[in-house]
Amino acid sequence: DAGVTQSPTHLIKTRGQHVTLRCSPISGHKSVSWYQQVLGQGPQFIFQYYEKEERGRGNFPDRFSARQFPNYSSELNVNALLLGDSALYLCASDDRNIQYFGAGTRLSVL
Q: Measured from the CB atom, is 24 or 43 closer to other proteins?
A: 43
Which residue from 15, 52, 55, 67 is in contact with other proteins, where contact means CB under 8 A? 55
Q: Measured from the CB atom, is 37 or 65 closer to other proteins?
A: 37
Which residue from 28, 40, 70, 84 is in contact with other proteins, where contact means CB under 8 A? 40
Region of 7-15, 16-24, 44-52, 69-77 interacting with other proteins (CB under 8 A): 44-52
When asked if residue 31 is in the footprint of other proteins (CB under 8 A), the reply is: yes
**Quick check: 106 and 11 in contact, CB under 8 A?**
yes
* Pairing relationship of beta strands 44-50 and 53-57 according to DSSP bridges: antiparallel
* Pairing relationship of beta strands 87-95 and 74-78 according to DSSP bridges: unpaired
DSSP string, 28-77: T--EEEEEEE-TTS--EEEEEEETTEEEEE-S--TTEEEEE-TTS-EEEE
Binding site for other proteins (CB under 8 A): 31, 33, 35, 40-45, 48, 50, 55-56, 58, 88, 90, 94, 97-104
